[in-house]
Chain A
Amino acid sequence: MANYYNIDDILMEEEPITSIFQVRANGVGLLDPGSESNCVEAGAKVDLPLWLAHELHLRQAVAIGVPPCFSQRTRKEVQADAACVDLRSRCPYFYELGCKIFPLVGDKSIGPFLLYTFTSRYKEILSKSHSAPVSTSPKYLPRLTQEETQLFKAAQWSIASFRKWRVGGSRLEKASILGRKRKPAAAQLPPAG
């Protein structure tokens, strides 16, 4: 797994997937809040995180459903006005989840839907990131998925760097990890090396 340590990939796999147990499983009662014994019965309908649902699905222990963020209703909303839809509240990892889930649920229409959604929202993301003053982004940003937010920030950073380059001025800066208002101790050692 080349992205074993990837934070986004790990968090994306935390997304809940509605799963129906095809078998009984012992000693895992915690999975099913409705279970009275310490096991999950066949036929129980449980929301499992993707990492677990995926592996159990491969072993034919559960059947998984299409997440609601790819439902017909969401699709209609996106088709009406893609840029306005609050995708983050539906799924912060909308695109990554879509790519991961479609081979599992065998729904080929998810792929084109993802592409359509992305291309229709892309322009707005770029133009907002380049033009909008910081004050308007609090309204816009929370609607974007994690992937889109990264794109937005990258675009913002690139335009900021471009402006800075055009104006000139200092390029040497304090390391951003050090707090803004740091009061250094009076006697600091000189830098090594």
Chain B
Amino acid sequence: MVSTAAGATSSGAGLEGEEGESIWGEDDASIAETTDVELLKRAWRNEKAAPEILLFEAGLVQRAREQIQLLEETVEDFVENGTDDLIVSLYQMDLDRSLFLLRSYLRVRLQKIEKYMFHISRTDLWNRLSEQEKKFSKRCVNAMEKHLEQSVLSRLPYGYQSILKQSISSEEDDMVPEPKLDTFVFCKSKGAVGAFQLDDVGDEIVDLVSDDLYVLRYKSIKGLVEGGRIDLV
């Protein structure tokens, strides 16, 4: 079963090598999907479909970059040694696909940070970012604050100049945009999750069968996504 190994991934700095592979490694049928490229593809899909930012896959990104570099060197060697053009271009295509995945994964995350910069920097989501993403997030917030400050806020009457509160009488930060967690997502589980409760009160229970496609609210399967038990598509 997938479920036991999965819980371990929710803490720490992301999927470490052995840990990441053990998730699917226990499932004999999916040996082919334990390559880093497949794991990256999965992380990329999840990141693209999830409304909020997910935990940065530090180990995975590190390994993917090493492999890409290796591929680049291989292609260069081939070109120098005059290897058959067809073979070179096959390697090149493989390289291009991996590079695309990596770029797109990192880009989707930066764009999510752009979109929810205030929310992310004020919640637990902050801990899901890499060091470099944290720096980016801070610069985003600074640039945006400066812009809104000088265009609007500094020109408003005293008491109405906050970027987080509508006025000083607001009890909470009522201006911060948040991701919509109750949005619907397409998802598919690798292993059978079994009966799963979608809401708090237990009125809605769905039996998640492996490899079936579901459309569910992100909010209700958030835990399964974070635990790696279900994939978004």
Contact = CB atoms under 8 A, between A and B. Distances in A.
In the complex, are there CB atoms of A and B closer than 8 Å?
yes
A1 interface: yes
Interface stretch (B66-74, B82-90, B171-179, B184-192): B171-179
Contacts of A3: 177
A4 to B, nearest CB: 5
Interface string A1-42: 111111000000000000000000000000000000000000
Contacts of A2: 176-178, 180
Nearest to A1: B174
Contacts of B176: 2, 4
Contacts of B180: 2
A85 to B, nearest CB: 27
A192 B180 CA distance: 34
Most buried by B among A2, A3, A5: A2
B178 to A, nearest CB: 4
Nearest to B181: A2
A5 B176 CA distance: 9
A1 B173 CA distance: 8
Contacts of B177: 2-6
A57 to B, nearest CB: 19
B191 to A, nearest CB: 31
Contacts of A6: 177
Interface in A138-180: none
A1 B176 CA distance: 7
A78 B178 CA distance: 35
- Central interface residue in A1, A3, A6, by most chain B CB within 10 Å: A1
A193 B177 CA distance: 31
A5 B177 CA distance: 7
Contacts of B175: 1, 4
Interface of B: 174-178, 180
13 contacts: A1-B174, A1-B175, A2-B176, A2-B177, A2-B178, A2-B180, A3-B177, A4-B174, A4-B175, A4-B176, A4-B177, A5-B177, A6-B177
